[in-house]
Amino acid sequence: MIPTSPASNVRSNTRMNDLQEADRRLTELEIKATFAEDLLDHLNEQIQQQQARIDLLIREVGELKRRLPERGLDSPLDPREDVPPHY
C-alpha cells in the first residue's frame, strides 16, 4: 500500500465535494430550466387564447358599429327617443 499524506486526502476529499456540489447545482439548474420552459409554453398558450378572444371582440364591435343607425356615433342613445317602427 502506498502511504498517503493527510494533505493529499484533504485535497481528494475537497475535489470530490466540489464535484458533488457542481453536480447538485447542475441538477438544480436543469430542474429550474424545465420549469421555466413549461411556464413559457403555458404563457404562450394563454397569449394565443387571449389574442383569439381579442380578434373575436374586434369583429363583434365592428359588426355592432355597422348595425348602428345612421344618426352617428356622437348622438346619445336615449331609449325614450327610440320609438318602435309601428308608432
Residue whose C-alpha cell reads 438544480 in the numeric block: 28
How far apart, in whole angstroms, are the C-alpha atoms of residue 10 and residue 13? 5
How far apart, in whole angstroms, are the C-alpha atoms of residue 33 and residue 39? 10
In three-state secondary structure terms, 68 is: coil
pLDDT in tens, 59-72: 999 999 898 876 55
Cell numbers representing residue 84 in the block: 318602435
Q: Centre a 10 Å sphere on the Cβ of residue 68 and count the other Cβ atoms it contains.
A: 10
pLDDT at residue 1 greater than cutoff 60: no
Residue 17's pLDDT is what?
A: 93
Single-letter residue type at 59: R
Residue 8's pLDDT is what?
A: 67
Q: Show me where the domains of the chain are located.
A: 33-65
Q: Is the pTM of this model over 0.85?
A: no
pLDDT in tens, 3-61: 566 666 767 889 999 999 999 999 999 999 999 999 999 999 999 999 999 999 999 99
